[in-house]
Structures are given as C-alpha cells and as structure tokens.
C-alpha cells in the first residue's frame, strides 16, 4: 500500500516520485504487478507472455541504481507491457495469429522496445491483439478473446486490445500499442484510458509505414506524455521517422485552453453514426472546454466524402498480400473474419485500387483543409460505447464500419489523442478524441490534460475482485 492506493493502482509518475524519495522500491512494485497479473489476467486475457524472473531481475538492478541516485532514464523501474506486433528480442512475435505461432522469437528490439530499455523500463509482458491487426476487436486466433476490465462481457476494441485491458485492469501503468486506423485510440476509448496516435513519423517503428504508428496508452494524460517522451527518441532504422523534437512532453503540458478555436464534429461523414450516449458525453466535454475559455464551432461533419468502400478495398488488398506470403497450412490458422476480408480482394482490379487511393488522397486534402481552420478538432473516438466481447465489430457485417472517427487521421498523419469523457448507464467508458494539425503533438496532449483536470469526475479503476 502507498497512502490510500495499492501498488498496482499507482501511475508511472507516482512510481517514479516514490522511487526518487526512497519511499518505494521497483522490486516491490514489480512484485505487486506480477501478483495483480496472476489475479486478474485469467479473467481478461490481456497478457499472453509474462517473464516474471527477468522482470524481477531488472527490478533489482533498477533498485540498485535508484539507491545510488543514478537512474538510467525517464522510466527506470516502471513496468511496461508491449503489444504482440512490436518486436522484443527473445519474446514471441505472433501478431495475434496462429499462422505465426511457430516462428522463432526475434533477436532484435524494434525502436519502441529499444527506447523502453534505454529508459530503464521493465518490459515484463507481451499483450494480446487480433490477427495481423486487421480487426478492431479483442478476438484472435492465437490468443482467444480479450475482455474489458470494466465488464468482462464487453469488448476492449483493437487492435491494441490486450494492452488497453492490462492497463485498465491494473496490470502495469503503461503499455505500447500501435495504430493503423484507430488501434490505440479505439481500445483507449472503450477501456477508459488516455492515449495518442502521434504525428506520423514521431515514433520510429519497424517496418516503416506511412500510416501505422506506435503509440502509448496509460491511465492519465501525464503518463501518456511521459511515455511519448521516451518513444519519440530517434532511431535511424525507420527511414520515414521525423527529426526528433527532443521535447519532454510530460514537463511541458499547458494548463489553459483560453482563446483556442475548437471544431466539434459528431458525424465523420462516413461509417457508423454516433449513438446518443456518445453524443451526450462529447457535447458535455465540449461544454467543459468552452467553460475553460475555448471557442467551440460546430461542424456538420468532418468530411463529405464517403470513404468506406475505398478503405475496405485498400485494407483487403493489404491483408491479402500478407496472406499470400504464408504457406497454405499457416493461412488456415488465420481468424475467419480476416480471411474473409482478404478474400474480398480477389475481384479487385489494379484500376479499382488506383481509384481507391485517389479517393483517399481527396479525403486527406479535405480533412487537412478543415483542420487548418481550427487549433484542434473534438469528436467521439468511437460511434458506440461498446459491443459484446466475442464480436469482431459492433456490426460484424462491416468490420471496419466503426472506425470513421479515427481512420482519416492515420491517412493525414495528424496527431490525435483520446481521453475518457464519461460513462454510460452501464458504467462503460466513453472516449473524447482531440485532433491537432501535423506536428502539434504537445498541443493535443495539452488540451487533453486541461480537459482531464476539469472534467468533473475521478475514475475508480475496476478491482476485478
């Protein structure tokens, strides 16, 4: 116990403060997190690979460094979990699929894993995800069903499903996910967390991608910013990464939104419409920021281009290409919904694919033009509060139909953060998305931090007793 909190309830910033003051040891914290994992992971299936001996060995080394007054980095002694699709030397790298369960563990650290280790973080577990990251839900051929700690009958979203469930369930304060169409923001919203999909290229990653980014998830905006401060450091292996800002984001969060012009949209222009509970929560959040001095301008929709068919086509082709590289036996192990998505690529011509990419470029131009009129945009992160844990999407016939509020910003490369803005009548969290213009990661986190401080409720994280 530390004050009124149990050790598993501490945020990363609180842990580090206690280490520095010698009130707490990284060994005590790691033991508490491992005990928490043993107690609650069977119920939520967030972690599929845990390394307790290595974690405790790292914790003892961290304890020695803190005792000598020489911590090695910003996260020295903090337990962190990492998504299955982020390579960590010696740990499984299945990307959620039975197709890859037999391949050797990687012998290298991806840039996010390397930055964590350099910062002294203890990578103690890998987290579950859906097959190939191609579903926005906590279902997987390799891992089974990952369940939401707020209510295990409900979904975590995906594809960073296990990481979000772990942090919301108290199995470590921080996790690293990745986002190609909403995959850190969707789970953050459904699990009550804070997260950011940063400006494209801000966090180096492998393999390099023009739309996929690694991203932090945490229980607070400050912890999210702290983790971004570590992950955003340079790595030449990602040739698409940005020159580093060298910003300690967690130390520079602004405390005011006075004078900012915020565009509010409750319809994306494509995909599912937001249900009433989501709309009510977002409007209440906007009113909170208005009371703090921001100007709120309502928009009819983000864009007037229905991009749904183009997105489905492009992701189907992307998935089909990966499946074609597998042996027939391996391919048969992939989740049926992902196989079905890939199969839809069979009748797509090169001309059709070209037209889809052209339409996405028109979408990007339109979204950037709208964003340029405002300091930041406010919107739901998801159109629904939640859906059953076993489902692949709110509407299984349209697996990608519910990413309308998130996916466009992967294409434009804009930073977009999520912070919890309330709960529905069932006690399930709802997420507010805050999007900025490119390169303004600090500003997006600052608006999220101001809102978090003013939102008028505190979160009592699920005990899962």
Q: Is 183 a catalytic residue?
A: yes
Per-residue pLDDT at 110 exceeds 90: yes
Q: What is the DSSP letter of 249?
A: G
pLDDT in tens, 3-16: 778 999 999 999 99
What confidence category does residue 284 fall into, taking pLDDT thresholds of 50, 70 and 90?
Answer: very high
Q: What pLDDT score was predicted for residue 4?
A: 79
For 342, what's the count of Cα atoms within 13 Å in the CB-facing half-sphere? 21
Q: Is 83 a catalytic residue?
A: yes
Instruction: Provide the mean pLDDT of the chain.
Output: 97
State mean pLDDT over 53-71. Answer: 98
Q: What pLDDT score was predicted for residue 324?
A: 95
Per-residue pLDDT at 449 exceeds 90: yes
Among 120-124, 162-166, 309-313, the range scoring the smallest mean pLDDT is 309-313
User: In terms of Cα–Cα distance, which of 130, 128, 154 is closest to 41?
Assistant: 128
pLDDT in tens, 202-229: 999 999 999 999 999 999 999 999 999 9
Rounded to the nearest 10 degrees, what angle do helices 52-67 and 12-20 cross at? 50
What confidence category does residue 181 fall into, taking pLDDT thresholds of 50, 70 and 90?
Answer: very high
- CA of 284: how far to CAs of 39, 160, 288, 379, 430, in Å? 36, 27, 6, 12, 12
pLDDT in tens, 23-50: 999 999 999 999 999 999 999 999 999 9
Evaluated on CA atoms 219, 220, 224, 227, the torsion sign reads negative
Per-residue pLDDT at 132 exceeds 80: yes
Per-residue pLDDT at 465 exceeds 80: no
Q: How far is residue 340 CA from its own chain's centroid?
A: 25
| Run of H or E including 295 | strand 295-299
- CA of 31: how far to CAs of 151, 183, 315, in Å? 26, 30, 41
The one catalytic residue among 183, 195, 229, 446: 183
Q: Is 159 a catalytic residue?
A: yes
State mean pLDDT over 321-329. Answer: 95
User: In terms of Cα–Cα distance, which of 163, 155, 151 is closest to 193?
Assistant: 163
Per-residue pLDDT at 1 exceeds 90: no
| C-alpha span between 248 and 233 (Å, rounded) | 10
The one catalytic residue among 83, 98, 117, 126: 83
State mean pLDDT over 118-140. Answer: 98
Q: How far is residue 382 CA from its own chain's centroid?
A: 13
The one catalytic residue among 159, 268, 446, 449: 159
pLDDT in tens, 392-433: 999 999 999 999 999 999 999 999 999 999 999 999 999 999
Write down all domains in the chain, each with its CATH number in brackets. Answer: 7-454 (3.90.1300.10)
State mean pLDDT over 270-277. Answer: 96
Per-residue pLDDT at 179 exceeds 80: yes
């Amino acid at each position: 116990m530390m004050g009124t909190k149990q050790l598993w309830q501490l945020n990363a910033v609180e842990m580090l403060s206690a280490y520095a003051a010698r009130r707490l040891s990284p060994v005590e914290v790691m033991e508490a997190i491992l005990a928490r994992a043993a107690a609650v992971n069977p119920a939520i299936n967030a972690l599929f690979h845990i390394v307790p001996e290595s974690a405790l060995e790292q914790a003892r080394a961290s304890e020695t460094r803190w005792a000598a007054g020489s911590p090695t980095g910003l996260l020295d002694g903090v337990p962190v979990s990492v998504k299955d699709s982020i390579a960590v030397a010696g740990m499984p790298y299945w990307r959620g699929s039975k197709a890859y369960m037999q391949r050797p563990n990687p012998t290298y650290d991806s840039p996010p894993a390397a930055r964590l280790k350099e910062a002294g973080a203890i990578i103690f577990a890998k987290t579950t995800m859906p097959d190939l990251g191609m579903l926005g839900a906590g279902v997987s051929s390799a891992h089974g069903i990952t369940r939401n700690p707020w209510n295990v009958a409900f979904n975590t979203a995906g594809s960073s499903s296990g990481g979000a469930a772990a942090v919301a369930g108290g199995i470590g304060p921080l996790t690293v996910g990745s986002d190609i169409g909403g995959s850190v923001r969707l789970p953050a919203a459904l699990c009550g967390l804070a997260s950011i999909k940063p400006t494209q290229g801000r966090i180096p990653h492998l393999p390099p991608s023009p739309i996929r980014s690694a991203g932090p998830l945490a229980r607070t905006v400050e912890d999210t910013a702290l983790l971004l401060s570590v992950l955003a450091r340079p790595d030449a292996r990602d040739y698409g990464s940005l020159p580093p800002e060298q910003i300690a984001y967690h130390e520079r969060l602004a405390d005011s939104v006075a004078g900012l012009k915020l565009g509010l949209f409750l319809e994306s222009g494509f995909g599912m419409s937001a249900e009433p509970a989501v709309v009510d929560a977002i409007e209440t959040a906007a009113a909170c920021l208005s009371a703090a001095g921001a100007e709120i301008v309502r928009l009819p929709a983000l864009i007037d281009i229905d991009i749904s068919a183009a997105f489905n086509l492009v992701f189907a082709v992307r998935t089909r290409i990966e499946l074609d590289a597998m042996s027939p036996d391996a391919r048969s192990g992939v989740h049926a919904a992902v196989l079905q998505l890939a199969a839809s690529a069979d009748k797509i011509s090169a001309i059709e694919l070209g037209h889809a990419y052209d339409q996405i470029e028109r979408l990007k131009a339109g979204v950037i033009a709208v964003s340029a009129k405002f300091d930041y945009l406010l919107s739901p992160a998801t159109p629904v509060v939640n859906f059953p844990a076993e489902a692949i999407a709110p509407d299984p016939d349209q697996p990608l139909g519910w990413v309308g509020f998130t996916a466009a910003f992967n294409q434009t490369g804009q930073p977009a953060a999520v912070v919890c803005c309330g709960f529905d009548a069932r006690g399930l969290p709802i997420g507010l998305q805050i999007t900025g213009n490119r390169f303004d990661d600090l500003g997006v986190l600052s608006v999220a931090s101001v809102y978090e401080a003013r939102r008028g409720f505190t979160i009592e994280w699920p005990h899962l007793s």
